[in-house]
């Protein structure tokens, strides 16, 4: 039974759907995969997993989302869970935002859409090393 998780945040269901399939195929049931369509959902999941003693290892977040932006979300997560590896997966991101996230959220990497499964998997693996 896996007690570690990878959390993906993106406002596009098709992206989350694709991401989850990719992660399942690559990592099987080694991790739990949780999908959130916005930051609020993400926080809810983080709380739930925390209660269930499931450790979140990686958060993959989109940047351009309704409401709170990716960099801001990751910075807040970092303030509470500095250990989590933060990866940004986005179609477009402001250079300033990435720089800020790097500095303040210890952003591990930023992957641009369209991405490849290997690129994603390698980044996560490398982040977890």
Cβ neighbours of residue 109 under 8 Å, at least 6 residues apart?
87, 88, 123, 126, 127
Check residue 80 for interaction with another protein (CB under 8 A). Answer: no
Q: What is the DSSP letter of 53?
A: T
**Is residue 29 a contact residue for another protein (CB under 8 A)?**
yes
Compute how many other C-beta atoms are within 10 angstroms of the C-beta atom of residue 33.
18
Query: Min. distance of Cβ 106 from another protein in angstroms?
Result: 24
75 belongs to the binding site for another protein (CB under 8 A) = no
**Cβ 128 to another protein shortest distance, Å:** 20
Dmax (CA) of the chain: 40
Residue corresponding to tokens 């970092």: 78
- Helix, strand, or coil here: 103? helix
Q: Three-state SS for 85?
A: strand
Restricting to residues 98-127, which ones interact with another protein according to CB under 8 A? 112-117
Region near another protein per CB under 8 A, out of 22-30, 74-82, 100-108, 121-129: 22-30
Kindly state the number of chain residues that form the binding site for another protein, as judged by CB under 8 A.
42
The site for another protein (CB under 8 A) is made up of 1, 11-22, 24-25, 29, 32-38, 41, 44-45, 63-67, 89-92, 94, 112-117
């Amino acid at each position: 039974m896996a007690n570690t998780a990878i959390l993906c945040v993106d406002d596009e269901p098709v992206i989350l759907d694709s991401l989850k399939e990719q992660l399942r195929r690559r990592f099987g049931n080694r991790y739990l995969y949780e999908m959130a369509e916005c930051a609020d959902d993400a926080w809810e999941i983080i709380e739930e997993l925390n209660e269930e003693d499931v450790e979140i290892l990686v958060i993959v977040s989109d940047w351009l989302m309704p409401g709170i932006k990716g960099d801001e979300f990751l910075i807040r997560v970092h303030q509470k869970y500095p250990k989590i590896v933060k990866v940004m997966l986005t179609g477009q991101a402001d250079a300033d935002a990435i720089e800020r996230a790097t500095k303040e959220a210890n952003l591990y990497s930023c992957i641009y859409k369209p991405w490849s499964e290997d690129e994603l998997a390698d980044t996560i693996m490398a982040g977890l090393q």
